[in-house]
């Protein structure tokens, strides 16, 4: 839908680039501004001195109240200010949105979020963080390392640091832009990075990539666009990522969390490829410790305050990218120890009644399996109850068996209706979730359908749910929709 409008303005790329270079303040209106990526882009544009307004159909939440510019609730032509230089819209905004139509009538320059981020990456040396899983955590880790090292930069991604002011990481004169680069609708092809991280390649957006070949080809296209003087950091433990990386015409650096025997079974891209490796990983109560080594250099002890072995890969990628940005390795390793974490990424929400509350954005079977495993490692003596809100009907249908296998790792699972997101919310949001429950029951696991968030809230107050006498009960919410609203609606105080 974005091309339906922007194709009428063939010079939009150059026009937006000129706005980025303009010394006078630019007036921009952002439609769909409460989405995580759009909000993050807004912070970056504010740091560049832009004057912003915005709108969103979503009501204001705790995550968006500190916007520092006017944000209208809902969409109406009257929300578009006069003399607006450019309208930036999220990919979720249809062409018939009243503010989009008003922008066309006023002759405004119109660009998508992906296009705006792409032009920004042409003005600032950019590190693009791509891959199916781990983009937000890895880009946030890299940003934290750069901040700790005193490296001026801007961050545009889909997360929010815990306990951190975001404007502190949007420098007016940045040396680097750290950009989360999503493969949805091939948006990441708009980015022009000097350094790129490829974390993983796995089927996820079935509305864009019908098969593995199409998916790998898109990532290969992303890699092929790297400049010859650039650096591509690739997860060597992911065969599909390695296949995509072969299209790159730049230096390739691998990172690998597997043991020596597993690494030996992988065909290297070439013999000259350097590799970051991990040794002696140990799970602790507060995260994970491991030895990090680059090539045949001296290993460094690393303490990562994040739970789960999958986070080691994210940390290595961030550290390796920081080194390529000019940060000393020792300084980067030390910075990781003080990483505050990201909202909705294995976030402890406190206690309610007899429950310890934990929240995560995981909405893919691979992510769910990793998150539940991390919860088991972090809280080994707890009875684990999971509440899962599937995200998108098509994804849930295509990966139904994988979802059931991953969720059965919990002691008890409640499945909510599918959060349809970009799809039409019809009866399938219920029937698809009920099918997932049935698959869980067929596996001998304890699955139950939960029709609403209100009902889920009542479950937390249910004294009949059995648990250890010690009160060690863990309630883990999973999903990329609005399941986290439950934490703002619980009666009384979460302590």
Question: Burial, 135: exposed, middle or buried (Cβ in 10 Å; 0-12, 13-18, 19+)?
Answer: buried
Neighbour count for residue 463 (Cβ, 10 Å): 6
pLDDT of residue 446: 97
Task: Give first-to-last CA distance, the chain, whole Å.
Answer: 45
Q: How far apart are CA 374 and CA 308, in angstroms?
A: 4
Kindly list the distances between the CA atom of residue 198 and the CA atoms of 128, 212, 347, in Å, as whole numbers in the listed order: 9, 16, 25
CB 232 within 8 Å of CB 196 = yes
pLDDT of residue 5: 46
CA atoms 9, 47, 190, 124: torsion sign? positive
CB 113 within 8 Å of CB 88 = yes
Q: In the chain, where are the structural domains located?
A: 2-116, 124-336, 347-489
CA atoms 264, 266, 268, 274: torsion sign? negative
Note the CATH architecture for domain 347-489: Alpha-Beta Complex (3.90)
Sequence-ordered alpha helix ranges (H) in 423-485 = 428-442, 453-460
The full DSSP string for 36-77 is HHHHHHHHHHHHTT-EEEEEESSPP-TTTTT-SS-EEES--G
Tokens 């294995």 label which residue?
Answer: 346
Q: From the centroid of its chain, how far is CA 343?
A: 11
CB 36 within 8 Å of CB 361 = no
pLDDT of residue 68: 79
Tokens 């439609």 label which residue?
Answer: 31
Which residue pairs, CB below 8 angstroms and at least 24 apart, start in 286-293? Answer: 287/311, 288/312, 292/316, 292/319, 292/333
**371 Cβ neighbours under 8 A, 6+ residues apart:** 308, 346, 360, 362, 476, 478
In angstroms and rounded to an integer, the radius of gyration of the C-alpha atoms of the chain is 23
CATH number for the domain running over 124-336:
3.40.1190.10
Q: Is 445 helix (H, G, I), strand (E, B) or coil?
A: coil
How do the pLDDT tens digits run along the chain, 495 residues long?
A: 344 444 345 477 789 999 999 999 999 999 999 988 999 999 999 999 999 999 999 876 544 445 579 999 999 999 999 999 999 999 989 999 999 999 999 999 999 999 999 999 999 999 999 999 999 999 999 999 999 999 999 999 999 999 875 555 667 789 999 999 999 999 999 999 999 999 999 999 999 999 999 999 999 999 999 999 999 999 999 999 999 999 999 999 999 998 765 665 555 565 446 799 999 999 988 899 999 999 889 999 999 999 999 999 999 999 999 999 999 999 999 999 999 999 999 999 999 988 999 999 999 999 999 999 999 999 999 999 999 999 999 999 999 999 999 999 999 999 999 998 878 878 999 999 999 999 999 999 999 999 999 999 999 888 666 555 556 899 999 999 999 999 988 876 666
Tokens 């730049």 label which residue?
Answer: 250
Nearest to 282 by CA among 291, 294, 273, 272: 291
Which CATH number among 3.30.413.10, 3.60.20.10, 3.40.5.50, 3.40.50.720 corresponds to the domain 2-116? 3.40.50.720
């Amino acid at each position: 839908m974005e091309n339906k409008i922007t194709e009428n303005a063939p010079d939009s790329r150059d026009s937006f680039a000129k706005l980025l270079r303009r010394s006078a303040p630019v007036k921009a209106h952002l439609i769909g501004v409460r989405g995580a990526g759009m909000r993050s882009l807004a912070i970056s544009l504010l740091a560049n001195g832009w004057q912003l307004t915005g709108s969103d159909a979503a009501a204001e939440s705790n995550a968006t109240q500190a916007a520092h510019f006017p944000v209208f609730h809902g969409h109406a032509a009257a929300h578009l200010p006069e003399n607006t230089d450019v309208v930036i819209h999220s990919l979720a905004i249809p062409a018939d949105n009243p503010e989009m139509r008003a922008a066309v009538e006023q002759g405004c320059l119109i660009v998508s979020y992906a296009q705006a981020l792409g032009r920004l990456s042409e003005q600032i040396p950019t590190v693009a963080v791509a891959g199916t899983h781990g983009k937000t955590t890895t880009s946030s880790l890299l940003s934290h390392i750069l901040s700790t090292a005193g490296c001026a930069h801007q961050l545009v991604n889909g997360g929010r640091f815990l306990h951190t002011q975001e404007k502190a990481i949007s420098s007016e004169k940045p040396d680097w832009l750290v950009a989360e680069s999503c493969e949805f609708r091939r948006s990441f092809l708009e980015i022009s990075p000097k350094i790129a991280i490829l974390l993983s390649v796995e089927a996820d957006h079935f509305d864009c990539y019908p098969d593995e070949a199409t998916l790998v080809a898109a990532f290969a296209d992303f890699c092929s666009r790297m400049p010859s003087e650039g650096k591509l950091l690739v997860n060597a433990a992911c065969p599909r990522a390695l296949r995509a990386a072969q299209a790159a015409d730049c230096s390739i650096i691998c990172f690998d969390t597997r043991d020596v025997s597993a690494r030996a079974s992988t065909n290297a891209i070439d013999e000259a490829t350097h590799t970051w490796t991990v040794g002696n990983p140990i799970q602790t109560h507060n995260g994970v410790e491991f030895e990090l080594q680059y090539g045949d250099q001296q290993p460094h002890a690393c303490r990562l305050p994040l739970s789960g072995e999958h986070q080691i890969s994210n940390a290595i990628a961030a550290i390796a990218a920081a080194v390529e940005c000019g940060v000393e390795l020792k300084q980067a390793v030390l910075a990781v120890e003080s990483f505050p974490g990201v909202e909705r990424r294995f976030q402890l929400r406190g206690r309610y009644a007899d429950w310890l509350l934990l929240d995560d954005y995981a909405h893919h079977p691979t992510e769910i399996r990793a998150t539940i495993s991390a919860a088991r490692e972090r809280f080994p003596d707890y009875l684990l109850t999971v509440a899962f809100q599937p995200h998108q009907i098509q994804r849930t249908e295509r990966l139904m068996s994988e979802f059931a296998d991953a969720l059965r790792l919990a002691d008890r699972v409640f499945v909510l209706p599918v959060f349809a997101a970009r799809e039409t919310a019809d009866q399938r949001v219920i029937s698809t979730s009920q099918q997932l429950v049935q698959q869980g029951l067929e596996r001998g696991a304890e699955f139950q359908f939960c029709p609403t968030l209100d009902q889920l809230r009542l479950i937390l107050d249910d004294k009949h749910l059995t648990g250890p006498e010690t009160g060690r009960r863990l309630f883990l919410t999973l999903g990329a929709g609005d399941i986290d609203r439950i934490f703002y609606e619980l009666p009384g105080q979460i302590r």
